[in-house]
């Protein structure tokens, strides 16, 4: 039979219609029947939240907090409230800790969550053989004992942030009986937690499908099914939410956020997050001159950078504490003052005709407008008498150079601090002996050292505020801004934001 | 010939794989970026760093590390992925089928389009269809596959949202597979809804990969077809009164296809390499996508495992191409 042109066109039309109606086609709703689809920006490498590289990756805590629950819940403003622990604390002389375990909680396989699980999990976390990356912290408490619903432990070394870490990295309780039965490999294939969602299907580098835990102890989430698609390309994430293939996405360029939130059917929400952009200064070469450092700090117009490069999505900061952090002190300010910068440089014999020269290293595309920010800063510096040469490198090289203390005199980086404690920002970043630190000044070592184990919390926080003021006065580092996380979503849902940057499906509700 | 050729190729594969191993092993260890530095947790000490280096076998010299790794590789173990904490061979074999299905699908697409376009070009030699085909060819060749990927997403994912943008299968289908060859398995088990969904997810990345290859095949095949059409046996076929379509498809194509076949075999390996970017853009869970994460994380064992996989694919494909010569041209059989 010979096909006529009309028949071919009709067939093409039917074929196109079939494709439209096929699963994945646009006419199939992105979420129907209680399903929520999120285009997420990173892959989930592993389901074990306590060991390996993934355990210390803040960007995948979203999954762990959805499936596992936190021992101590971290609220959206970084404050803390009871989670799987209903109470906790130290004894009077800080030689012992105690934790009260929530009753009536079950693991996803129906078995009861008990104090034994807590004791076992924490002992495992502190055991150097199990590979917990924060083992050095968990090992500061040992010899856990269970009595009813209370777990106690002996303090080997006082750690003021011990309980804060129970709401952050690697501090998750694991199911003792199930883990011992199936082993690490079995757990990886079929993870269980106590959280509001259970893992239904996981395809590495593709998606994870979660279903609501019918026996959840807390507030019942709104959606029966949640699908996280791992869409690591920003353009693809934009296309996912714009096409309706996903309901929510995040970590997209700010200009795309502004464009999408104005489209019919979409809206957006932003929140400052516990991630800051900064310029590490290394105590080498010209950077040992305090006039150069202070001039570099005063010459940067942070507000202009945020307004013009980041479209207003950012919060200028002058210390390594964001406004939500425990040791934030708004009185510590470093003014934008190019004339003061010139005067400082003149004291050391520098000027626009005789500029001071050094290298500044930066990534390109690792953080929003990272390279462009450094370009802008170099331009601002040039106007006062600083000539900085930009060197672009990969983030992997940054880590290597930082660990070996061989960074350039200036290096752009971001620093996350999801517990909002000053020890995990100022402490780790500015304490010389730490492999994360760049500035190795003895004055800071002497100021920060005693704060690690300071038992008086008010004194500890005051101590870090004093350290931050000292750092700002001497320009040992140049904090730039607190990042803002853009989230675009269908206007049929409302999204609860979190300063730690997690995107929790249990915080998403129908609009 | 097939048996001796196979044996010769297998013997040649050994030094090839060894050479690739050495080059990759050394390169990933000398380029900037230390996986241990990347995985250091906050609050870690220099002692912690050294402990991790020892735990991952990175404390020895490069030759020492290579000897250890080679010994394990000869026993079938390619180590444990630093970032994923799983056996490298299992990870690669788990993701390889996705890339192979995509690459084969793209190649079939490219060959089909290339052969059709070349045939049309020869049929209408010297006229506007050939000119149009040459112009489209040039344009297609000039645009890299990842740009095609973005353009396809824009057109068929956003402007005319008819195709899914990411992934390999709709997560909501809840389909289970026994093997990694989802498409083949779904076809064999007659799950046509799943087949449709899989193809819908594959079409855009496959087109992005296929277009440059199709252009190359068109160009090479058109030229060799044109040459074949000038041969005596073709003139005899014309004298016998065969149609032009029959002359091209039955008489000329078999001989004319040998250069295109060789090129397709070589280009297939480049196509597999091209999956790295295309899989990333479409979030397609193949070894290309995994390779990017491995490089970013400086996951040395995984990078080595993936590169060796690509090398094995290259060797196998070239072997298949050599073996197929005899099928196409009996004069090449000995």
The pLDDT of residue A476 is 97
**Site from A38, A139, A239 to mutate, B interface, most B CB atoms within 10 angstroms:** A239
Of chain B residues 201-230, which have a CB less than 8 A from chain A? 201
* Distances A511 to A36, A222, A236, A494, B244 between C-alpha atoms, Å: 13, 11, 25, 5, 65
The residue length of chain B stands at 334
The token pair that represents B148 in the structure block? 């095609």
Q: Does B42 contact A402 at a Cβ distance shorter than 8 Å?
A: no
Phi, psi (deg, nearest 5) at residue A477: -155, 160
Of A172, A375, A40, nearest to B166 by C-alpha is: A40
Q: Residue B101's CB: how many other CB atoms inside 10 A?
A: 20
Q: Residue A277's CB: how many other CB atoms inside 10 A?
A: 25
A363 to chain B: which residues are within 8 Å by CB? Answer: none
Phi-psi region at B75: left, alpha or beta (left = phi > 0; alpha = psi -120 to 50): alpha
A243 to chain B: which residues are within 8 Å by CB? Answer: 157-158, 161, 165
- The answer to whether residue B172 is domain-embedded is yes
Q: Does A393 contact B32 at a Cβ distance shorter than 8 Å?
A: yes
A401 burial type by CB count under 10 A (0-12 exposed, 13-18 middle, 19+ buried): buried
Of chain A residues 238-267, which have a CB less than 8 A from chain B? 239-240, 242-245
A207 to chain B: which residues are within 8 Å by CB? Answer: 167, 171
Q: For B157, which of A169, A204, A243 is closest by C-beta distance?
A: A243
* Distances A454 to A114, A289, A432, A459, A461 between C-alpha atoms, Å: 32, 32, 18, 7, 9
A204 to chain B: which residues are within 8 Å by CB? Answer: 84, 94-95, 285
Query: H-helix or E-strand containing A227?
Result: strand A225-230
Q: List, in order, residues 6 or more apart from B318 with CB less than 8 Å away.
A: B9, B265, B266, B269
Q: Does B39 contact A133 at a Cβ distance shorter than 8 Å?
A: yes
pLDDT tens figures, A451-471: 999 999 999 999 999 999 999
A509, β-bridge pairs:
A494
Of A204, A265, A263, A205, nearest to A233 by C-alpha is: A205
Highest mean pLDDT among A26-40, A64-78, A128-142, B16-30: A64-78
CA angle A454, A458, A463 (to 5 degrees): 65
Q: Is the pLDDT of residue A17 over 50?
A: no
Q: Is the pLDDT of residue A123 over 80?
A: yes
Kind of pairing, strands A386-392 and A356-362? Answer: parallel
What rounded mean pLDDT belongs to chain A? 91
Mean pLDDT within A321-326: 93
Mean pLDDT within A109-135: 92
- The answer to whether residue B80 is domain-embedded is no
Q: For B200, which of A24, A46, A48 is closest by C-beta distance?
A: A24
CA–CA gap between residue B227 and residue A392 (Å, rounded)? 51
CA–CA gap between residue B182 and residue B188 (Å, rounded)? 10
- The answer to whether residue B103 is domain-embedded is yes
Mean pLDDT within A346-360: 97
The pLDDT of residue A194 is 98
- The answer to whether residue B33 is domain-embedded is no
In sign, the C-alpha dihedral spanning B281, B287, B290, B291 is negative
pLDDT tens over chain B, length 334 residues: 467 777 877 788 888 888 888 888 888 787 777 777 766 666 666 777 777 777 777 777 888 888 888 888 888 888 888 888 788 999 999 999 999 999 999 999 999 999 999 999 988 888 999 999 999 999 998 998 899 999 999 999 999 989 999 999 999 887 788 899 999 999 999 999 999 999 999 999 999 999 999 999 999 988 888 888 777 877 887 788 888 777 777 777 777 777 888 788 888 888 888 888 999 999 999 998 899 888 888 888 899 889 888 888 888 888 887 777 666 666 655 5
Kindly provide the b/e burial profile for residues A326-365, where b requires at least 16 CB atoms within 10 angstroms of the residue's own CB: bbbbeebebebbbebbbebbeeeebeeeebbebebbbbbe
Q: A375: number of CA atoms within 13 Å, CB side?
A: 9
A46 to chain B: which residues are within 8 Å by CB? Answer: 84-86
Q: Does B171 contact A403 at a Cβ distance shorter than 8 Å?
A: no
Q: What is the CATH number of the domain that holds B111?
A: 1.10.3720.10
SS3 string of A68-99? CCCCEEECCCCCEEECCEEEEEECCCCCEEEE
The DSSP output letter for A112 is B
The DSSP output letter for A106 is B
Q: A258: number of CA atoms within 13 Å, CB side?
A: 7
What rounded mean pLDDT belongs to chain B? 85
- The answer to whether residue B142 is domain-embedded is yes
Of A390, A410, A389, nearest to A295 by C-alpha is: A410
* Distances A373 to A90, A369, A384 between C-alpha atoms, Å: 45, 6, 17
Q: Does B166 contact A229 at a Cβ distance shorter than 8 Å?
A: yes
Q: Does ipTM exceed 0.90?
A: no
Q: For B167, which of A137, A229, A239 is closest by C-beta distance?
A: A229
A16 to chain B: which residues are within 8 Å by CB? Answer: 162
The token pair that represents A181 in the structure block? 């039965």
Task: State the nearest Cα–Cα gap between A242 and chain B, in angstroms.
Answer: 6
The DSSP output letter for A129 is G
Q: Residue B92's CB: how many other CB atoms inside 10 A?
A: 21
CA–CA gap between residue A221 and residue A227 (Å, rounded)? 14
pLDDT tens figures, A180-207: 999 988 999 899 999 999 999 998 889 9
The pLDDT of residue B326 is 64
CA–CA gap between residue B53 and residue B40 (Å, rounded)? 11
Instruction: Tell me which of A94-103, A191-200, A245-254, B71-80 is least confident.
Output: B71-80
Q: Could you tell me where the DSSP H helices lie in B168-243?
A: 182-188, 192-228, 232-239
CB of B99 closer than 8 Å to CB of B202:
no
pTM metric for this prediction: 0.87
Kindly provide the b/e burial profile for residues A404-421, where b requires at least 16 CB atoms within 10 angstroms of the residue's own CB: ebebbbbbbbbbbbbbbb
A400 to chain B: which residues are within 8 Å by CB? Answer: 32-34, 37-38
CA–CA gap between residue A168 and residue A419 (Å, rounded)? 7
Q: Is the pLDDT of residue A4 over 60?
A: no
Q: Is the pLDDT of residue A2 over 80?
A: no
Query: H-helix or E-strand containing B95?
Result: helix B88-123
Of A56, A303, A301, nearest to A168 by C-alpha is: A56
B171 to chain A: which residues are within 8 Å by CB? Answer: 37, 201, 203, 206-209, 227, 229
CA–CA gap between residue B10 and residue A27 (Å, rounded)? 51
A169 to chain B: which residues are within 8 Å by CB? Answer: 41
- The answer to whether residue B317 is domain-embedded is no
CA–CA gap between residue B263 and residue A311 (Å, rounded)? 49
pLDDT tens figures, A257-275: 999 999 999 999 999 999 9
- The answer to whether residue B60 is domain-embedded is no
Q: List, in order, residues 6 or more apart from A25 with CB less than 8 Å away.
A: A19, B161, B162, B163, B164, B200
Of A47, A79, A6, nearest to B86 by C-alpha is: A47
CA–CA gap between residue A196 and residue A221 (Å, rounded)? 7
Instruction: Tell me which of A390-394, A483-487, B42-46 is least confident.
Output: B42-46
Task: State the nearest Cα–Cα gap between B96 and chain A, in angstroms.
Answer: 13
Confidence grade of residue A302 (pLDDT, cut at 50, 70, 90):
very high
Residue B76, chain A, CB below 8 Å: the answer is no
Q: List, in order, residues 6 or more apart from A188 with CB less than 8 Å away.
A: A46, A47, A48, B86
Kind of pairing, strands A248-250 and A225-230? Answer: unpaired
CA–CA gap between residue A229 and residue B163 (Å, rounded)? 16
Range of the domain at B192: 94-294
Residue of chain B nearest A393, judged by CA positions: B32
**Site from B29, B43, B191 to mutate, A interface, most A CB atoms within 10 angstroms:** B43
Q: Does A22 contact B196 at a Cβ distance shorter than 8 Å?
A: yes
Q: Does B285 contact A203 at a Cβ distance shorter than 8 Å?
A: yes
CB of A219 closer than 8 Å to CB of A31:
no
The pLDDT of residue B327 is 65
Q: Could you tell me where the DSSP H helices lie in A170-253?
A: 176-189, 234-243
The residue whose two tokens read 């056996």 is B87
Kind of pairing, strands A356-362 and A493-495? Answer: unpaired
Mean pLDDT within A44-52: 88
Q: Is B259 helix (H, G, I), strand (E, B) or coil?
A: helix
Residue of chain A nearest B55, judged by CA positions: A131
Phi, psi (deg, nearest 5) at residue A111: -75, 155
Task: State the nearest Cα–Cα gap between B320 and chain A, in angstroms.
Answer: 31
**Site from B53, B58, B101, B172 to mutate, A interface, most A CB atoms within 10 angstroms:** B172
The pLDDT of residue B333 is 56
Q: Does A245 contact B164 at a Cβ distance shorter than 8 Å?
A: yes
A141, β-bridge pairs:
A155
Residue A400, chain B, CB below 8 Å: the answer is yes
**Domain count for chain B:** 1
CA–CA gap between residue A67 and residue A226 (Å, rounded)? 12
Residue A20, chain B, CB below 8 Å: the answer is yes
The DSSP output letter for B87 is B
- The answer to whether residue B284 is domain-embedded is yes
B36 to chain A: which residues are within 8 Å by CB? Answer: 403
Residue of chain A nearest B35, judged by CA positions: A396
A139 to chain B: which residues are within 8 Å by CB? Answer: none
The pLDDT of residue A339 is 97
Of chain A residues 401-460, which have a CB less than 8 A from chain B? 401-404, 424, 427-428, 433-436
Q: A256: number of CA atoms within 13 Å, CB side?
A: 20
3-state helix, strand, coil in chain A (%, to 5): 35, 25, 40
CB of A257 closer than 8 Å to CB of A300:
no
CB of A40 closer than 8 Å to CB of A462:
no
Count H helices, E strands: chain B?
14, 0
The token pair that represents B114 in the structure block? 């290339």
* Distances A68 to A107, A130, A480, B74 between C-alpha atoms, Å: 9, 19, 34, 40
Q: Does B42 contact A428 at a Cβ distance shorter than 8 Å?
A: yes
**Site from B152, B163, B283, B306 to mutate, A interface, most A CB atoms within 10 angstroms:** B283
Of chain B residues 237-296, which have a CB less than 8 A from chain A? 280-283, 285, 289-290, 293, 296
Q: List, in order, residues 6 or more apart from B92 with CB less than 8 Å away.
A: B78, B287, B290, B302, B305, B306, B309
């Amino acid at each position: 039979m010979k096909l006529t042109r009309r028949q071919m066109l009709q067939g093409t039309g039917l074929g196109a219609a079939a494709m439209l109606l096929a699963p994945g086609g646009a006419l199939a709703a992105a979420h129907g029947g209680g399903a929520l689809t999120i285009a997420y920006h990173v892959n989930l490498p592993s389901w074990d939240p306590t060991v390996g590289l993934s355990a210390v990756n803040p960007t995948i805590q979203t999954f762990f907090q959805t499936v596992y629950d936190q021992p101590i819940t971290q609220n959206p403003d970084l404050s803390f409230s009871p989670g799987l622990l209903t109470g906790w604390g130290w004894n009077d002389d800080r030689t012992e800790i105690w934790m009260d375990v929530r009753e009536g909680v079950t693991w996803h396989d129906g078995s009861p969550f008990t104090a034994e699980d807590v004791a076992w999990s924490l002992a495992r976390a502190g055991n150097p053989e199990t590979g917990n990356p924060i083992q050095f912290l968990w090992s500061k408490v040992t010899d856990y004992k269970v009595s009813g619903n209370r777990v106690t432990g002996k303090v080997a070394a006082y750690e003021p942030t011990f309980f804060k870490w129970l709401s952050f990295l690697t501090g998750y309780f694991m199911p003792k009986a199930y883990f011992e039965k199936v082993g690490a490999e079995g757990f990886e294939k079929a993870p269980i937690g106590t959280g509001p969602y259970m893992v239904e299907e996981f395809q590495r580098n593709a998606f994870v499908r979660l279903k609501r835990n019918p026996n959840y102890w807390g507030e019942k989430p709104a959606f029966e099914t949640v699908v996280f698609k791992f869409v690591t390309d920003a353009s693809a994430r934009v296309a996912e939410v714009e096409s309706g293939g996903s309901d929510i996405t995040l970590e997209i360029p700010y200009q795309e956020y502004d464009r999408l939130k104005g489209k019919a059917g979409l809206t957006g929400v932003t929140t400052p997050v516990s991630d800051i952009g900064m310029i590490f200064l290394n105590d080498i070469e010209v950077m040992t001159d305090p006039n150069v450092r202070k001039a570099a700090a005063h010459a940067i117009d942070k507000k202009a950078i945020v307004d013009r490069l980041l479209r207003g999505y950012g919060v200028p900061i002058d210390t390594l504490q964001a406004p939500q952090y425990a040791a934030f002190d708004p009185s510590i300010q470093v003014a934008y003052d190019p004339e003061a910068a010139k005067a400082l440089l003149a004291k050391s014999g520098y000027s626009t005709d005789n500029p001071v020269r050094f290298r500044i290293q930066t990534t390109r595309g690792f953080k929003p407008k990272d390279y462009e920010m450094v370009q802008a800063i170099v331009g601002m510096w040039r106007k006062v008498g600083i000539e900085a040469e930009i060197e672009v490198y990969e983030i992997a090289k940054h880590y290597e150079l930082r660990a070996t203390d061989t960074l350039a005199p200036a290096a752009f980086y971001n620093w996350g601090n999801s517990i909002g404690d000053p020890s995990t920002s100022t402490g780790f970043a500015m304490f010389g002996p730490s492999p994360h630190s760049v500035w190795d000044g003895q004055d800071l070592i002497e100021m920060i050292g005693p704060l690690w184990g300071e038992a008086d919390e008010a004194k500890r926080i005051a101590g870090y505020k004093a350290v931050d003021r000292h750092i700002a006065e001497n320009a040992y580092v140049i904090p730039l801004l607190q990042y803002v996380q853009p989230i675009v979503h269908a206007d049929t849902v409302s999204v609860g934001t979190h300063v730690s940057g997690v995107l929790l499906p249990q915080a998403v509700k129908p609009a | 010939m097939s048996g001796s050729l196979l044996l010769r190729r297998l013997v040649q594969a050994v030094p090839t794989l060894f050479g690739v191993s050495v080059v990759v092993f050394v390169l990933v260890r000398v380029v900037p970026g230390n996986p241990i530095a990347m995985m250091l947790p906050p609050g870690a000490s220099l002692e912690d760093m050294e402990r991790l280096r020892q735990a991952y076998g990175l404390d020895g010299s490069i030759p020492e590390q290579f000897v250890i790794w080679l010994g394990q590789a000869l026993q079938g173990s390619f180590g444990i992925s630093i970032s994923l904490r799983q056996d490298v061979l299992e990870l690669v074999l788990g993701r390889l089928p996705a890339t192979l299905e995509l690459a084969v699908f793209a190649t079939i697409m490219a060959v089909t389009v290339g052969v059709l376009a070349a045939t049309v070009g020869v049929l209408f030699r010297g006229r506007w269809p050939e000119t149009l085909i040459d112009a489209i060819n040039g344009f297609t060749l000039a645009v890299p596959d990842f740009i095609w990927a973005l353009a396809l997403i824009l057109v068929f994912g956003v402007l005319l949202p008819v195709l899914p943008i990411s992934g390999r299968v709709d997560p909501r289908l809840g389909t289970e597979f026994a093997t990694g060859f989802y498409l083949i398995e779904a076809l064999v088990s007659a799950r046509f809804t799943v087949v449709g969904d899989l193809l819908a997810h594959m079409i855009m990345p496959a087109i992005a990969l296929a277009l440059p290859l199709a252009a190359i095949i068109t160009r090479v095949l058109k030229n060799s077809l044109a040459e074949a059409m000038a041969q005596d046996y073709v003139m005899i076929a014309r004298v016998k009164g065969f149609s032009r379509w029959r002359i091209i498809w039955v008489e000329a194509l078999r001989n004319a296809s040998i250069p295109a076949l060789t090129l397709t075999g070589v280009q297939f390996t480049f196509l597999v390499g091209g999956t790295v970017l295309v899989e990333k853009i479409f979030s397609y869970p193949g070894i290309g996508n995994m390779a990017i994460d491995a490089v970013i994380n400086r996951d040395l064992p995984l990078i080595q495992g993936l590169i060796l996989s690509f090398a094995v694919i290259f060797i196998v494909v070239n072997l298949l191409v050599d073996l197929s010569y005899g099928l196409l041209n009996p004069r090449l059989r000995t």
